[in-house]
Amino acid sequence: MRIAVVHGPNLRLLGRREPDVYGRETLTDVNSAIEEEARALGVEVEFFQSNHEGALLDFLEDASARADGFLVNPGALTHTSVALRDALLGVSRPFVEVHLSNTAGREPFRRHSYLSDVASGVVFGFGVQSYLLGLRGLVSRIPNPNE
């Protein structure tokens, strides 16, 4: 099983970006933790980050040929992007939406997501653990051909 992990805008700044909100781990630290969890679950992972909406859409389309599901932190595009929603629906792969911060407890504009209602699940508020819990949930939703 192969999962593609997608990080949206500004997530490459992790570690120095509002550490009180997002923690002190860098994106490299986050990806290492995901890789370790993936190894424990016996799944392959690949990573992609972009600050550009179009690049994210292109990646989803390309990666859908090889990935069984997507673990997505869409960053601010969560709250703005119909295009990202359409792309995730269009590639017909299950996905889990994750956020480091508790988006429900922040500014009102962060309470709405264009993705949550079409996601397999959503995890937010647990820092790096959101990704690890989300990965577990996503893997549990994808049928294993060997079972």
Write out the catalytic residue numbers: 22, 99
Among 29-37, 46-54, 55-63, 98-106, which window interacts with ligand DQA (CB under 6 A)?
98-106
| Binding residue (CB under 6 A) for ligand DQA from 101, 122, 131, 135 | 101
Does position 115 interact with ligand DQA (CB under 6 A)? The reply is no
Separation of alpha carbons 94 and 105, rounded Å: 26
Q: If binding means CB under 6 A, how many residues of this protein chain bind ligand DQA?
A: 10
Does position 84 interact with ligand DQA (CB under 6 A)? The reply is no
Among 57-65, 72-80, 87-95, 133-141, which window interacts with ligand DQA (CB under 6 A)?
72-80
Does position 49 interact with ligand DQA (CB under 6 A)? The reply is no
> Pick from 69, 82, 79: which is nearest to 5 by CA?
69
CA dist list (Å): 66 to 52, 63, 93: 22, 5, 11
Among 34-42, 43-51, 73-81, 139-147, which window interacts with ligand DQA (CB under 6 A)?
73-81
Does position 103 interact with ligand DQA (CB under 6 A)? The reply is yes
| Binding residue (CB under 6 A) for ligand DQA from 6, 43, 56, 75 | 75
Given the complex with ligand DQA, which of 1 and 75 has the nearer CB atom?
Answer: 75
Residue 42 DSSP one-character state = T
- Describe the chain by its helix, strand, coil percentages, rounded to 5: 50, 20, 35
Separation of alpha carbons 36 and 83, rounded Å: 31
In angstroms, the first-to-last Cα distance of the chain is: 12
Separation of alpha carbons 74 and 77, rounded Å: 5
